[in-house]
Amino acid sequence: MPEPSAKPWKDKLHEVIYEADTTAGKFFDVVLLFVIVLSIIIVMLESVKDINAEYFHIFYVTEWVITIIFSIEYILRIISIKNPKSYIFSFYGIIDFVSTIPTYLTLFFGGYNVLLAVRALRLLRVFRILKITRYLGEADKLAVALRHSRPKIFVFLFAVFIITIIAGTIMHLVEGEAGGFDNIPLSIYWCIVTLTTVGFGDIAPITPLGRFIASFIMITGYGIIAVPTGIVSAEYSRAGEKQPQLNTQVCPHCNESKHLDGSEFCHNCGNKLNE
Amino acid sequence: MPEPSAKPWKDKLHEVIYEADTTAGKFFDVVLLFVIVLSIIIVMLESVKDINAEYFHIFYVTEWVITIIFSIEYILRIISIKNPKSYIFSFYGIIDFVSTIPTYLTLFFGGYNVLLAVRALRLLRVFRILKITRYLGEADKLAVALRHSRPKIFVFLFAVFIITIIAGTIMHLVEGEAGGFDNIPLSIYWCIVTLTTVGFGDIAPITPLGRFIASFIMITGYGIIAVPTGIVSAEYSRAGEKQPQLNTQVCPHCNESKHLDGSEFCHNCGNKLNE
Amino acid sequence: MPEPSAKPWKDKLHEVIYEADTTAGKFFDVVLLFVIVLSIIIVMLESVKDINAEYFHIFYVTEWVITIIFSIEYILRIISIKNPKSYIFSFYGIIDFVSTIPTYLTLFFGGYNVLLAVRALRLLRVFRILKITRYLGEADKLAVALRHSRPKIFVFLFAVFIITIIAGTIMHLVEGEAGGFDNIPLSIYWCIVTLTTVGFGDIAPITPLGRFIASFIMITGYGIIAVPTGIVSAEYSRAGEKQPQLNTQVCPHCNESKHLDGSEFCHNCGNKLNE
Amino acid sequence: MPEPSAKPWKDKLHEVIYEADTTAGKFFDVVLLFVIVLSIIIVMLESVKDINAEYFHIFYVTEWVITIIFSIEYILRIISIKNPKSYIFSFYGIIDFVSTIPTYLTLFFGGYNVLLAVRALRLLRVFRILKITRYLGEADKLAVALRHSRPKIFVFLFAVFIITIIAGTIMHLVEGEAGGFDNIPLSIYWCIVTLTTVGFGDIAPITPLGRFIASFIMITGYGIIAVPTGIVSAEYSRAGEKQPQLNTQVCPHCNESKHLDGSEFCHNCGNKLNE
């Protein structure tokens, strides 16, 4: 960046909004993080009847202020990028749109409803800002371990799933409607509750045979919890090797965000970064 | 396989039904997987009274179609193999028979009953088809770790079992019928529920002494869950070595299914594979 | 053992009762295991009112037969050992006595009572017989890992204990009697139930602040369960080294039972084994 | 320490109260430990109505005796240290003050109240005395593993937190007030209860869709418990290296307590230790 002042305003805007390497970029991210968290708190509090009744007007005004901030941010994101479609139809582009629009729709449909709760999706936006956490180096290493563990854990969960179906069917036959095992899907639900050691207790076996079988299911669940733990432990130990260091630059041409520290050209479209 | 067209039809059929190395074999497995899953879903939905009342006729027809498909498959499996007995009395042969016959029996006994639920055993058939998952390499490695962990986990579960019997007897003496600890088997059931950290809450101690002892049981359960996990972790790390690669060929003479990739003769009966 | 027939009958009896290296010794252990398990099943079933009412006479007779068998065994153990006191006041000697005497005492006090349940202690006798499991090699390795983990797990449980006391006091102040947190010991009990992820649900917070604090307690419990698991995993990996092989010989002089395979003299008193 | 008798009484007092290397110092710590534990037991028992009604006078007298002991100890600690402020405003100085003062305040406000429960903070004082546990070497190693695991576990808990918010919002929309999911914060609380596998059962889904989603949440919680465990396991294995050995000396000038064994001067203020 030899002459940052020579950059056109669009490029500057792109740097501030999409990246976090400059002071302005970091400041933008911190403000946005604050607004997102505030908006989530309001969504939560609005759902509590007593609180909503009392502070309805404060929530109403704050909500509109936040929505307008998000709308401006959304428009700026579209303007500042060279290829707007790459943003609009990206995962975060859709999240940004879907989490902003419900407030406008309430003008036409009104009242507390499903639309308002959709705004909780705003929380997903936090992840984009938290690309900063990459610098911690921890999340990455954890992610590598989890990615390698995924196929094994999938096989494990598949086996667990089949166990619950068979055990659920048996419990339905043994307990019947007396203990609340009214049908097979409900019995399977109970098996999942039991095997994962959650145990709500809203459904529980009452016949001696049912309790005997339940004991086996519980001990199985207690024993096999070891499997995913063992997998992750082993994978995590292997994930100790150095990971390549990514920075927060985003290509202004194609919106690609994963660039190795020190990259001069986008590895995706070949255009210059920070031109 | 120089001249596949020269093979007699029985051998072709065997390849399609028992193996998954050819296109037709894979297609057969995928269709069968779909039918099995569909049949399981119907067994489940039939057990829900409201749904069964409304869609009874659809379920009835689908069930018979599925049963006839399974019957044909069962007969083809017997015909295509050189030694039918090796199939009929094998684990999967019995599963195939037991999970198909209940529908026919309802012609004589009728109504929703235990027989129908037996059909849930069809789920076990999924495992045969999923020998495909072997290619993932994951299930095998997991299986090795679990096989090596088994004797240790058995010793562990035996110790857990003795702890629950002694703790159950003590709780029965301390709590008596007030807290629901009516007899020793019930108290042991409660101990298992507690030690595995499931905790339904249908039975719970109410005397101070009972709660004090229960606290010890819970902390014990919380502490010793570490044991199987530690075992599986250690074994899984060791299971990292390469496993020999099996394919899905099945010997047409003796029905043996574990053949190393590249085998020309059955390691069990010495006859040629794919002759 | 050049001339086994030349041994005096006391030594032979000692070999049969205390050891499991000869056919007779193994047979004795298997029979004893069967009788112990049978006696435990009867203790359990007697505590179930309906079953006891119906089969009272069968239980009564069987119980007396078992008690007489145990009495004979107890006397034989005292006779066959050179130093009876070393047996009588050993851990298993006391267990043997305490688990046999209650049946005789019921002659004077009668009825179903605490005395009868004491017989459940007979289960502890199983451990003596199961010294056979040593040959599995697994229990030993597990025991080594657990012995090394003990001081660390003790430190961990101590920290957990202090957390529950402080969290319990806070919950008592926050929730009071409304949610069932009547006093501090009860709140601590609830904390243990929650931290160990058992969660009976007989006591549960109902105020927003109480639930907020409860969330922290639960997440703490969920997070720190990792600690003992990590310890055991690491210790278990280290316990991989070969353990010296013990056999089941017991010194007829001093009753010492841990002898390395191939020992000719007792490492404790220096007398000859199997003389 | 060539001439311990030549030391002024203040230094001796400092050694006894703040350190545990001399016989007197160890005796002081053991007595203090006993008094602290006794005071905690009284705080607990006082909160139980029945017990408090019966033994009120004993508790009252004991409480005042303990408070006066703590007061004397507090004054001695201030006198014996060269720089009293470094003690008074340290973590333990504040704990000592806050856990002693409530008894005096009850003279003016009276009765059982929040003030009395504050005394439970006395338990935190135990940690200071238990610097003795350092000698076990275990707590240190555990602490190192936990310190290294902290950032990773923080990232993990942050992800868990976001999952609970989104899942909580979805459950609120799906279940509504029927199943007790009255508002979003309550649904989030339920999600935490479920994800950590505690499962009180005071709130539980009752609609089929709600139960289906709950099943996913439970399996997720069951699966991801592996993550912190894997992290701690790996870190604990690495923490095996030798830690520098600390002793229990405390600098009489600046109250710094972490001194390597064999240190002659305080590494913090440069003054001589044990002068």
- pLDDT of amino acid A65: 92
DSSP, res A81: S
Q: Taken in order C35, C41, C46, C52, is the CA torsion positive or negative?
A: negative
What is the pLDDT averaged over residues C61-76?
Answer: 91
- pLDDT of amino acid D254: 67
- pLDDT of amino acid B265: 61
Q: Which of B131-140, C222-231, D188-197 reaches the highest mean pLDDT?
A: D188-197
Confidence of residue A211 (pLDDT cuts 50, 70, 90): very high
Distance CA C183, CA C171 (A): 10
Token pair of B122 as six digits: 């069809």
Among B123, B196, B218, the residue to mutate for chain A (most A Cβ within 10 A)? B196
Would you call D200 an interface residue with chain B, using a CB distance cutoff of 8 Å?
yes
Compare A271 and B51 and report the one with higher pLDDT.
B51
Confidence of residue C202 (pLDDT cuts 50, 70, 90): confident
| D window 87-126, beta carbon within 8 A of A | none
pLDDT of C191 higher than 90: yes
CB contact under 8 A, B151 and C136: yes
Q: Report which residue type is found at B228.
A: P
| C window 65-84, beta carbon within 8 A of B | none
Would you call A138 an interface residue with chain D, using a CB distance cutoff of 8 Å?
yes
- How far is A106 from chain B, CA to nearest CA, in Å? 36
pLDDT of C217 higher than 60: yes
Would you call C49 an interface residue with chain B, using a CB distance cutoff of 8 Å?
yes
CB contact under 8 A, B136 and A156: no
What is the pLDDT averaged over residues B9-15?
Answer: 81
pLDDT of A39 higher than 80: yes
- pLDDT of amino acid B102: 82
Would you call C173 an interface residue with chain D, using a CB distance cutoff of 8 Å?
yes
- pLDDT of amino acid A270: 61
Q: What three-state secondary structure class fits D262?
A: coil
Instruction: Output the DSSP codes for B6-64.
Output: GS-HHHHHHHHHH--SSHHHHHHHHHHHHHHHHHHHHHHHHTSHHHHHHHHHHHHHHHH
Instruction: Please tell us whether the domain made up of A6-136 is placed in CATH 1.10.10.10.
Output: no
Element (H, E) at A49: helix A49-80
- pLDDT of amino acid A3: 47
Would you call A229 an interface residue with chain B, using a CB distance cutoff of 8 Å?
yes
Residue A235 class from Cβ within 10 Å (0-12 exposed, 13-18 middle, 19+ buried)?
buried
Domains of chain C, residue spans: 6-136, 141-242
Would you call C163 an interface residue with chain D, using a CB distance cutoff of 8 Å?
no
Which residues pair with residue B260 across a beta bridge? B246
- pTM for the model stands at 0.78
- How far is D230 from chain A, CA to nearest CA, in Å? 4
CB contact under 8 A, D201 and B200: yes
Shortest CA distance from A222: residue in chain D: D222
Shortest CA distance from A48: residue in chain D: D183
Facing residue for C201 by CB, picked from A197, A201, A233: A201
Residue C199 CA to chain centroid, in angstroms?
A: 26
pLDDT tens by residue, chain D, 275 residues: 444 455 677 788 888 877 767 888 888 888 888 888 888 888 888 888 888 889 989 988 998 899 999 999 999 988 888 888 888 888 888 888 888 888 888 777 765 566 666 777 777 777 666 654 444 555 566 677 777 777 777 777 777 888 888 888 888 888 887 778 888 899 999 999 998 888 888 888 988 899 999 998 998 887 777 777 777 777 776 665 434 445 566 666 666 665 555 556 665 566 666 54
Distance CA B67, CA A185 (A): 22
- pLDDT of amino acid D237: 67
pLDDT digits (tens, 9 = 90+) for B156-211: 777 788 888 888 888 888 888 777 888 889 999 999 999 888 888 888 898 889 99
A135-139 contacts at long range (C-beta below 8 A, 24 or more positions apart): A136/D151, A136/D155, A137/A243, A138/D151, A138/D152, A138/D155, A139/D155
DSSP, res D274: -
Facing residue for D43 by CB, picked from C182, C184, C226: C184
- pLDDT of amino acid D93: 85
Class of domain A141-242: mainly alpha
> Which residues, other chains included, contact A49 with Cβ-Cβ below 8 Å and sequence gap of 6+?
D182, D183
> Which residues, other chains included, contact D132 with Cβ-Cβ below 8 Å and sequence gap of 6+?
D20, D26, D29, D248
Compare C229 and A22 and report the one with higher pLDDT.
A22
Q: Number of residue pairs across C and D with CB atoms under 8 Å?
A: 125
Distance CA D204, CA B189 (A): 23
pLDDT digits (tens, 9 = 90+) for A108-154: 776 556 666 677 777 777 766 665 444 455 556 667 777 777 777 77
Among D47, D196, D233, D236, the residue to mutate for chain B (most B Cβ within 10 A)? D233
Facing residue for D172 by CB, picked from A49, A117, A141: A117
- pLDDT of amino acid A191: 93
In chain A, the largest separation of any two C-alpha atoms, in whole Å, equals 81
- How far is B110 from chain A, CA to nearest CA, in Å? 17
- pLDDT of amino acid D47: 83
Which residues pair with residue B247 across a beta bridge? B259
Facing residue for A230 by CB, picked from B48, B193, B232: B232
CB contact under 8 A, A196 and D198: no
Chains contacting D (3 or more CB pairs within 8 Å): A, B, C
- How far is A30 from chain B, CA to nearest CA, in Å? 40
